[in-house]
């Protein structure tokens, strides 16, 4: 893009850039590589006011500051608007909407902190470490199932099943029911949260919310009658022991954990493997030295984070960011995949380097909503990559994947096969 000189002025370039951003907000899959657009936004218009009224935040320091500012920016106020008004004559739909609104990722403190405390014990280092033998067992079985195949879908055959099985066991959710709740959660994940959900999308999201609420409400009822050694029972019992967890919060917490517990990890593995396949030198280096896995995971999360951006926040007062004042009542979006390529923070940010040190990526978010399951996700991903490198030959990409149009940065598939000898 020409910024100065040539046939276009700086103003024309900014207009073109704004048009690109508007298109990206509507359909992220239109840009397989949005990073040049974000680079220009960081230089020309880092606090971008879109035509839809959304404020787009692209620089690392500004993104990080907003995510940590729970006083002036509210996720709850933004979330209340996304699904519209509660219908007064449709009780089940109203319950479903309220449940989705009460997902942990949609709450502010102190409600968010109260619910997070109830869940946190399942994700402390000792609790996560105790899962390692089971994760290794599942990983080995999955990798063995594709061994010797000339072609397989790494996303579908390896990346998704591992965290799905683990989170189901942790929560006490029947894994055979995953075809039900995964479809409903996929509908919620696919919804573009950058504006109020409308039309057929709203119908689908509300229907998924109703079905999720009914399914997990029934599960909570069964755990009240017959407690088990699982996280759902912990949450149900906490509700009955004075922790002030209402029904919407209880079901919302369960949906949040089981949804986030497989989406993030599955796409970390798939996006990370895609990065390696695009950078054969880095792939070879990691296969040769698995000790690099920890820094490689951080680089995967920085370079192609499964989260494109944070969920929208609403400003509770006029907020000044650099030289721009964002009025009270505005919606702000923090773009992780721009912040993670900010040259003010990362040297040579567009290079994929699995040995990168001091990697302060925002792949797991920041502030109060920093990913609660980040340790489990890292353990699952590291064990999966170790098994792939140990058990499978060098893999190559067989078909160019497409980025899906969701608020996550996820591939539609990842078809791979053994490299020709």
d(CA 72, CA 66): 9
**C-alpha closest to that of 330 among 49, 20, 71, 14:** 49
What would the pLDDT profile of 185-234 be if each residue is shown by its tens digit?
Answer: 888 877 666 666 778 888 888 898 899 999 999 999 999 999 999 989 98
What pLDDT does residue 9 have?
A: 63
d(CA 223, CA 235): 10
* Residue 296 dihedral angles phi and psi, to the nearest 5°: -65, -40
CA distances from 13 to 23, 48, 52, 55, 416 (A): 16, 14, 19, 19, 40
What pLDDT does residue 3 have?
A: 36
Contact 336, 363 (CB under 8 A): yes
What pLDDT does residue 378 have?
A: 96
pTM of the model: 0.91
What pLDDT does residue 119 have?
A: 86
What pLDDT does residue 6 have?
A: 42
Cα–chain center distance at 414 = 18
What pLDDT does residue 387 have?
A: 97
What pLDDT does residue 240 have?
A: 55
Token pair recorded at residue 325: 């004042």
What pLDDT does residue 181 have?
A: 81
**Would you state the torsion angle of the CA atoms of residues 310, 405, 372, 354, taken in this order, to the nearest 10 degrees?**
-90
d(CA 83, CA 60): 29
d(CA 81, CA 84): 5
For the chain (421 residues), the mean pLDDT of every run of 10, in chain order, is 45 82 80 90 94 93 97 93 79 88 92 89 91 96 96 96 91 85 80 70 87 93 93 80 77 87 88 97 96 97 94 96 96 96 97 96 94 94 96 96 85 94 54
What would the pLDDT profile of 233-278 be if each residue is shown by its tens digit?
Answer: 988 887 655 566 788 999 998 888 888 778 889 999 999 999 999 9
What pLDDT does residue 370 have?
A: 94
Domains parsed from the chain with CATH numbers: 69-304+363-418 (1.10.630.10)
């Amino acid at each position: 893009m020409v910024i100065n000189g040539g046939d276009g002025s700086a103003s024309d370039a900014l207009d073109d850039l704004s048009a690109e951003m508007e298109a990206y907000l509507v359909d992220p899959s239109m840009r397989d590589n949005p990073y040049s657009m974000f680079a220009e936004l960081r230089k020309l218009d880092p606090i971008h006011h879109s035509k839809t009224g959304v404020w787009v935040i692209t620089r690392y320091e500004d993104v990080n500051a907003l995510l940590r500012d729970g006083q002036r920016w509210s996720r709850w106020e933004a979330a209340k608007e996304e699904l519209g008004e509660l219908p007064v004559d449709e009780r089940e739909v109203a319950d479903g909407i309220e449940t989705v609104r009460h997902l942990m990722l949609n709450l502010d403190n102190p409600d968010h902190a109260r619910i997070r405390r109830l869940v946190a014990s399942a994700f402390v280092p000792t609790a996560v470490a105790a899962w390692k033998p089971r994760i290794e067992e599942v990983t080995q079985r999955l990798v063995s199932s594709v061994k010797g195949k000339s072609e397989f879908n790494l996303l579908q055959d390896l990346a998704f099943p591992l965290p799905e099985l683990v989170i189901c066991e942790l929560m006490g959710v029947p894994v055979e029911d995953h075809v039900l709740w995964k479809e409903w959660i996929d509908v919620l994940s696919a919804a573009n949260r950058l504006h109020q959900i409308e039309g057929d999308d709203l119908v689908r999201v509300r229907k998924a919310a109703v079905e999720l609420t009914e399914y997990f409400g029934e599960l909570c009822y069964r755990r009240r009658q017959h407690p088990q050694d699982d996280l759902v029972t912990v949450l149900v019992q906490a509700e009955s022991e004075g922790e002030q967890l209402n029904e919407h919060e209880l079901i919302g917490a369960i949906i949040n954990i089981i949804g986030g517990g497989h989406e993030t990890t599955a796409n970390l593995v798939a996006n990370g493997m895609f990065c390696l396949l695009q950078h054969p030198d880095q792939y070879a280096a990691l296969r040769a030295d698995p000790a690099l896995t920890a820094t490689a995971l951080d680089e995967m999360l920085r370079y192609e984070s499964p989260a494109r951006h944070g969920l929208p926040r609403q400003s509770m007062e006029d907020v000044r960011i650099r030289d721009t004042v964002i009025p009270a009542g505005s919606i702000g979006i923090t773009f992780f995949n721009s912040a993670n390529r900010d040259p003010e923070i990362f040297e040579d940010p567009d290079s994929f380097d699995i040995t990168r040190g001091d990697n302060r990526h925002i792949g797991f978010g920041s502030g109060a909503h920093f990913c609660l399951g980040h340790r489990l996700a890292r353990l699952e991903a590291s064990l999966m990559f170790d098994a792939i490198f140990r058990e499978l030959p060098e893999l190559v990409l067989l078909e160019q994947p497409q980025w899906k149009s969701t608020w996550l940065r996820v591939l539609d598939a990842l078809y791979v096969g053994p490299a020709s000898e």
